[in-house]
Structure 1
Amino acid sequence: MTTQHLNEPPFDVSFDVDGKRVIYLDCRNALTCSKETFAAMNGVSTDTVIAWMQSGTIPSVKMGRPRFVHLAQIRTDLAKGKTIFAQGDYVDE
């Protein structure tokens, strides 16, 4: 996996477990990603991803002002056998 630590945030940034800003050149191991990146990975619009986050269909986490898609939680749930992501699955997070 290739990562790059930055002192200034670029347009699409994630964070490592120590809280350092990181660009993941390979998103398979990223903890989070922007709604734009997640939309591109899944072939949907950014508005669709925003709606999924607001309805609790996909897990998200707020870091500062922006909200990011919680990729680590999605991977964990998939590993446990989750196959359907429905509205309200992540409303309590």
Structure 2
Amino acid sequence: MSTQHLEQPPFDVSFDLDGKRVIYLDCRNALTCSKETFAAMNGVSVDTVVAWMQTGTIPSVKMGRPRLVHLAQIRADLAKGKTIFAQGDYADE
């Protein structure tokens, strides 16, 4: 098995539906991503992403120790026509 060392996003380590660890070089198909990768993808600071997660502005999931951005939920909501992500939209998750 070869190891890839990448210095810049977009890349992330996540898990597939079977719980297997996956390294995504392109997060378009990832179910989740780290706050650092999401910040880089959106051109905002990591602190901003943390605030969005804490206020329920974007969906997140707890996977072990870290809390990850729930990309699959964001994509599903965008596909349903959601255009604005407001504070509290994901507060119950």
TM-score in terms of structure 2 length: 0.87
Q: CA deviation at 1:61?
A: 0.1
Identity %: 89
* Rounded Cα–Cα distance in structure 1 between residues aligned with 2:63 and 2:92: 17
Instruction: Please show how residues 1-16 of structure 1 align to structure 2 within 5 Å.
Output: 12-16=12-16
The alignment's C-alpha RMSD in Å is 1.5
Q: How many residues end up aligned between the 2 structures?
A: 84
Q: CA deviation at 1:70?
A: 0.1
TM-score in terms of structure 1 length: 0.87
Are positions 1:30 and 2:30 aligned together? Answer: yes
Instruction: Please show how residues 54-69 of structure 1 align to structure 2 within 5 Å.
Output: 54-69=54-69
* Rounded Cα–Cα distance in structure 2 between residues aligned with 1:37 and 1:79: 22
- Structure 1 regions of 5+ residues with no counterpart? 7-11
Report what 2:84 is aligned to. 84
> SS at the partner of 1:58?
coil
Q: CA deviation at 1:26?
A: 1.3
- Structure 2 regions of 5+ residues with no counterpart? 4-11
Report what 1:52 is aligned to. 52
Amino acid at match of 2:81: G
